Amino acid sequence: MIALANRRLVAANEWLLGRHRRHSIAVCRQTHRKSSADDSETHVTFSNGRTMRISTGRLARMADGSAVVGAGDTSVMVTAVHRPTPKSAYSSFVPLTVDYRHKYSAAGRIPVNRMRREVGAPTEREILTARIIDRSVRPVFPKGYNFETQLVCNLLAVDGVNDPDVLAVNSASAALTLSPIPWEGPVGAVRVALTRDNHVITCPTRREMSEAALNCVVTCTAGGQVLMLEAFANEPVLEPGLLKTIGRAVRECRAVTDVIARLRETDGKPKRDITDTVSAVTDEHFQAVKQLIYPGIRHVFQDYSHDKFSRDAAIQAVIASAMDQLREQFGADCEPILSDAIHSCIKHVYAELVVDSSIPTKRCDGRLTSELRPITCQTDLFKPLHGSALFQRGQTQVLCSLTLDSADSAYRSDPFSALTGGLLEKNFMLHYEFPQYATNSTGSSSVGRRE
């Protein structure tokens, strides 16, 4: 009886605490809405009636740009920040970093590690979601952009119905569009699913995705150009069905870009003018490089006696002899730009040789374009292993080992990963490593984000 009374008392306390929290949150929301004149919220309505909300001005006001995008009870906040001064060294690579993290608190959970804190390297799903965001926004940065830029994406709440990855892409687009960063967006992302009876569903729930034949995420510009596409099929899908799905996604993306563009007109910050800081390869650089290295590079590519190492050494010798003259003409400060021009010229020479009909062998190692590199495969290299093989194509090698174990060794996700769309259990795992010595270089021995 005493134990039963204690359980009832605990239940009553939890009910009162939950009621108090809900009342407090409602009061806080109402108060914050009234006290903030900069808080804006707008909605995107898709063709099937489902909506997505985009808000700005409430959180992370010190950041260059911030936005919270939600659907259902799932919300993702993205902040965009860039350094006010450009990097000292020229680079043709946009210095963009995307950090996407799931927080256990978003699902009402406590971390299961020893310290009960959000620590450690990003999970596989966090890395894959960050790549979706990166591939969606990176192509829209202006050529020559050289300011370190960081997107920090936090999952604020998840309902287990609406996946946060597409919301994160749209939140990143809104944050960059509203910021002073000279980003040439906006872009819009949408998830669409093709059902088994050939119907397209916009913004499908997780249950609808599991039952669909095709699950597709598409990112488009305001003009309808596809920037990023990622798809997963549960069964074979014919080309008309795929094109129908992508076409619907492109039309739905325009609704997102239109709303973000209108939000920029009312809440956006003036864009920075980076004209004076942009450094890029000009036609003068390219022509000067081409005049010096074109004959030598063409000769190296047509010498079919080279292997990879001797060919690389010959190309470097041509570059070294030309670089001294280029430094005298343009100065030592332009060396990174000249290196980029040299790389572009080498690609130009090789492409020219491939399309030249007067040359019978088109590749630099003497192979025809329809001819594969020599392929070899050896198996059972190490007897104690359950399986092992060495696969080689040309000079590229892959060493693989296979391990079989009991069902107890299967991967089992925690409840939080299940809520964010991860697998509940996985009994097949593929581990990929790309060590530095594979390319005869040195570097960190830690596991890379692509491994």
CA 319 to chain centre: 34
Average pLDDT over residues 102-124: 78
* pLDDT score recorded for residue 415: 64
Residue 364 domain flag: no
Residue 118 domain flag: yes
Residue 27 domain flag: no
Same domain? 217 vs 113: yes
- Where does the pLDDT of residue 26 fall: very low under 50, low under 70, confident under 90, or very high at 90 and above? very low
Residue 20 domain flag: no
On the question of pLDDT at 419 being above 70, the answer is no
Residue 366 domain flag: no
* 258-281 residue pLDDT tens: 999 999 999 999 998 877 666 677
Domain that holds residue 420: 375-439
Total residues belonging to the chain: 451
On the question of pLDDT at 68 being above 50, the answer is yes
> Taking the CA of residue 329 as centre, how many other CA atoms within 13 Å lie in the half-sphere pointing to its CB?
15
Same domain? 83 vs 141: yes
Residue 445 domain flag: no
* pLDDT score recorded for residue 8: 46
CA–CA distance, 332 with 234 (Å, rounded to integer): 56
- The answer to whether residues 113 and 120 touch, using CB atoms and an 8 Å cutoff, is yes
Residue 381 domain flag: yes
Residue 11 domain flag: no
Same domain? 285 vs 387: no
Between 27 and 61, the more confident residue is 61
CA–CA distance, 336 with 51 (Å, rounded to integer): 47
On the question of pLDDT at 250 being above 90, the answer is yes
Long-range contacts of 324-331 (CB under 8 A, 24+ apart): 325/292, 326/288, 326/289, 326/292, 329/288, 330/285, 330/288
Between 281 and 78, the more confident residue is 78
CA–CA distance, 314 with 321 (Å, rounded to integer): 11
Say which DSSP state 50 is in. -
- Cβ burial of 362 (10 Å; 0-12, 13-18, 19+) is middle
CA–CA distance, 153 with 31 (Å, rounded to integer): 26
On the question of pLDDT at 167 being above 50, the answer is yes
Please state the domain count of the chain.
3
Which of 230, 255, 275 marks a domain boundary?
275
Backbone angles phi, psi at 437, to 5 degrees: -70, -15
- Where does the pLDDT of residue 6 fall: very low under 50, low under 70, confident under 90, or very high at 90 and above? very low
Same domain? 103 vs 69: yes
* pLDDT score recorded for residue 417: 65
Between 204 and 448, the more confident residue is 204
Average pLDDT over residues 338-350: 90
**Four-CA torsion 274, 279, 282, 286, nearest 10 degrees:** -160
Same domain? 310 vs 332: yes
Same domain? 342 vs 205: no
CA–CA distance, 397 with 110 (Å, rounded to integer): 44
Same domain? 209 vs 95: yes
* pLDDT score recorded for residue 30: 29
Same domain? 78 vs 159: yes
- Where does the pLDDT of residue 442 fall: very low under 50, low under 70, confident under 90, or very high at 90 and above? confident
pTM: 0.76
Question: Which CATH number does the domain housing residue 316 bear?
Answer: 1.10.10.400
Which of 275, 300, 328 marks a domain boundary?
275
